[in-house]
Amino acid sequence: MTDGRQLGFDTLQIHAGAAPDPATGARQTPIYQTTAYVFRDADHAAALFNLQEVGYIYSRLTNPTVAALADRICALEGGAGAICCSSGHAAQIMALFPLMGPGLNIVASTRLYGGTITQFSQTIKRFGWSARFVDTEDAEAVKNAIDENTRAIFCESIANPGGYITDIPAMAAIADAAGIPLIVDNTSATPYLCNPIALGATLVVHSTTKYLTGNGTVTGGCVVDSGKFDWSASGKFPSLSQPEPAYHGLVFHEALGAMAYTFHSIAVGLRDLGMTMNPQGAHYTLMGIETLSLRMEKHVENARKVAEWLEQDPRVEAVTYAGLPSSPYYERVATICPKGAGALFTFAVKGGFDACVKLVDSLELFSHVANLGDARSLVIHSASTTHRQLTPEQLEAAGAAPDMVRVSIGIEDAEDLIADLDQALAKATA
């Protein structure tokens, strides 16, 4: 805006990162389905490869459609820069890659998606990294888990599957005191409901597969950097504060300031890990984000109605939705997620494991899939599917006990969703 006025969220979700195509005038961002880009001349090519000029080289690194999506998500999150990649799990590795090295660790919440717990407890060991899992409700335990080799704290804004709300400012204060970044997975909340950077987070990660796209068509991930962390202050982050041999001794933080993390993630992370988002997938997500606020309002409205009904039903043992006054996280919603507690939560069915399985099999409108954040309502029994690789203790800590069913409430008529749950509960508890 020429008057310097900050654009609102609804405007940014449509316009950020996008402009009419200069070649054709196309109003929607084109799908640049190309592998490589022609250089103007030899000097132009050299400048691009030396990071002296910003531009397009090869679509493993950058692509105009993907760049438009990164810019849009960055604007919605209030970051300095963003990097899109092939999936949410790729985004988690991308987020850690500039920070970590053999022998280093992160402190991670016990209340994470089961696949994330497996990635952090098993897969990252192959890089020589490790994770220490701590209940982020226990601030002292988080502090005590940090040592001289800790390089980040990792949590989710709205935890999957239980819908618990993390006290992000408290985690940010601990991270700041330790001189390490706080990484917040904002997938379940989206930037419409929660702004982790404004609450003190350094980095935000997304599975764009979920609410950002909103229609269950493509996978993708994104890392957003706040641009506020001093990567040179402690010597803990040599990838950003020390000379990079592959770029003739370039010191990313010294040369690029607030954009150091973003450029490193592209020039080194995407270059060598190759976790590239495809441009058609980026296009679908760009279109999905255009209606993000409208969808999230309906998701939250429906989730509240369904959770209130479930809480009153005698066939239900408990409901974890943070938007209910009975939730221990209810008071936190106003600070962390002022526009609503999201649409992801679990509920315990009387009758335990067998009743949960029967309920899932009896639902008709709810789709039984390993996904969340779709326009349609989804259900899964986490203990036997998405979290089945966890120990019984980990299942309890993650909020995925055997008697719990996870629901991702969509944007259908809430009355129809309640009717479907009613008939399925009747069959499951008969």
Residue 248 near residue 46 (C-beta atoms within 8 A): no
**Domain edges within the chain:** 9-288, 293-428
Tell me the CATH number for domain 293-428.
3.90.1150.10
Residue 301 exposed, middle or buried by CB count within 10 Å (0-12, 13-18, 19+): middle
Confidence at residue 3, expressed as pLDDT on a 0 to 100 scale = 66
Confidence at residue 7, expressed as pLDDT on a 0 to 100 scale = 94
Give Rg (Cα) of the chain: 22
Q: Which amino acid does the sequence have at 382?
A: S
HSE-up (13 A, CA, CB side) for residue 62: 21
Confidence at residue 384, expressed as pLDDT on a 0 to 100 scale = 72
pTM: 0.95
What's the topology of domain 9-288?
Answer: Aspartate Aminotransferase; domain 2 (3.40.640)
**Consecutive H or E run containing 42:** helix 42-49
Q: How far apart (Å, rounded) are the C-alpha atoms in residues 89 and 260?
A: 22
Confidence at residue 96, expressed as pLDDT on a 0 to 100 scale = 98
CA-wise closest residue to 32 among 21, 40, 16, 41: 21
Inter-axis angle of helices 279-289 and 64-77, nearest 10: 30
| Beta bridge partners of residue 156, listed in sequence order | 185
CA 281 to chain centre: 17
3-state secondary structure 227-282: CCCCCCCCCCCHHHHCCEHHHCCECHHHHHHHHHHHHHHHHHHHHHHCCCCCHHHH
Q: How many residues does the chain have?
A: 430
**Consecutive H or E run containing 362:** helix 352-362
Q: Examine residue 98 and say whether the peptide bond preceding it is cis (omega within 30 degrees of 0).
A: no
**Consecutive H or E run containing 349:** strand 344-349
Structure tokens at 345: 């939560």
Q: What is the DSSP letter of 43?
A: H
Structure tokens at 41: 């001349």
Would you write out the chain's pLDDT as a tens digit for each of its 430 residues? 456 788 999 999 999 999 898 889 999 999 999 999 999 999 999 999 999 999 999 999 999 999 999 999 999 999 999 999 999 999 999 999 999 999 999 999 999 998 999 999 999 999 999 999 999 999 999 999 999 999 999 999 999 988 999 999 999 999 999 999 999 999 999 999 999 999 999 999 999 999 999 999 999 999 999 999 999 999 999 999 999 999 999 999 999 999 999 999 999 999 999 999 999 999 999 999 999 999 999 999 999 999 999 999 999 999 999 999 999 999 999 999 999 999 999 999 999 888 999 999 999 999 999 899 999 999 998 777 665 666 777 766 666 677 889 999 999 999 999 999 999 999 999 8
Confidence at residue 397, expressed as pLDDT on a 0 to 100 scale = 64
